[in-house]
Structure 1
Amino acid sequence: MYSCLFLLLTKIFSSNTKINDEIKNLLIKIDNTKEEINRCERFLQMNDESVIKCHYERRISLLESAINRCEDIFNNLCLIEHQTEKEKRHDIEKQKKDIKSKQIQIINDKNVLENELKERINTIKRLEEEYRKYKCIYNTSKLHLIVLKNSSQYEICDSE
């Protein structure tokens, strides 16, 4: 009789210990997941995709205008070059060369900005996906915790 009682108590104790350990591990997982959710939320609040796009597109537009101005200046210099004397053509050639190098630099700057914009948007999309994943893990873990807590209460009631 005592051995049956001992076995029953041992089973109840080990069952409750396992559930308590599982609950504790789940609480840690929930806490870590909540931290990741908060990290994602902070990043996404500071990096609104439409604001980022607007900011970069404005800067890119300014660079495109500068590229067009360089092209206009270059074309005007070409017209002037044909109308000037040979001695002054050397100065105009130098100006044309300077304008073209400036235009190339602006084009490079524009390409860098466009690539930065793509990277930022990809990062935002990746974090939005992470955020959804962590929210799902968090909600699932919370439900699992509720189930575990309820089942541990039933086991305690059953054992009494």
Structure 2
Amino acid sequence: MSRAVCPGSFDPVTHGHLDIVARAARLFDEVVVAVGVNPSKSRLFGPDERVSMLERAIADIPNARVEGFTGLVTDFCREQGAEAIVKGLRSSGDFDYELPMAHMNVALTGVETVFLPTATGQSFVSSSLVKEVAAFGGDVAAFVPGFVLEALTTRLAERAAGA
């Protein structure tokens, strides 16, 4: 059985993320969507919230599941018995950033990295940009699932009220 890991922070999950997971699920028998938990980084949504949103978002992909992880993604891959890491690439900048990590990952554990280009129309979308645009009242409905938009809008309003 072939198994791949799609790692990320998913803060929040976007349609671009979901496209990569769905396409990876066509290439591998099982895909583990790995939600990175790094206590030193400030996130809009907590680990449990991000896992829950992803579980809901991938519910229609039968061979995909969601797990949280801390530490090195290669250690997580080893624990999961994964043979590959799947990463989406939006631009050459993403490639330049990801390639050294892919080399390090294969050198450390033999886990290969598979790069998938983002779908047409998604190459400019990132969680950070979605949060920034939404914080200034911009319409990001086209870039995230409806329930994520609702959670994002609510969280940003809570933060604005507390500021």
What TM-score, normalized by structure 1, do the two folds share?
0.19
Larger Rg: 1
Structure with the greater relative contact order (CA < 8 A, sep ≥ 6): 1 or 2? 1
What TM-score, normalized by structure 2, do the two folds share?
0.19
More strand by share: 2
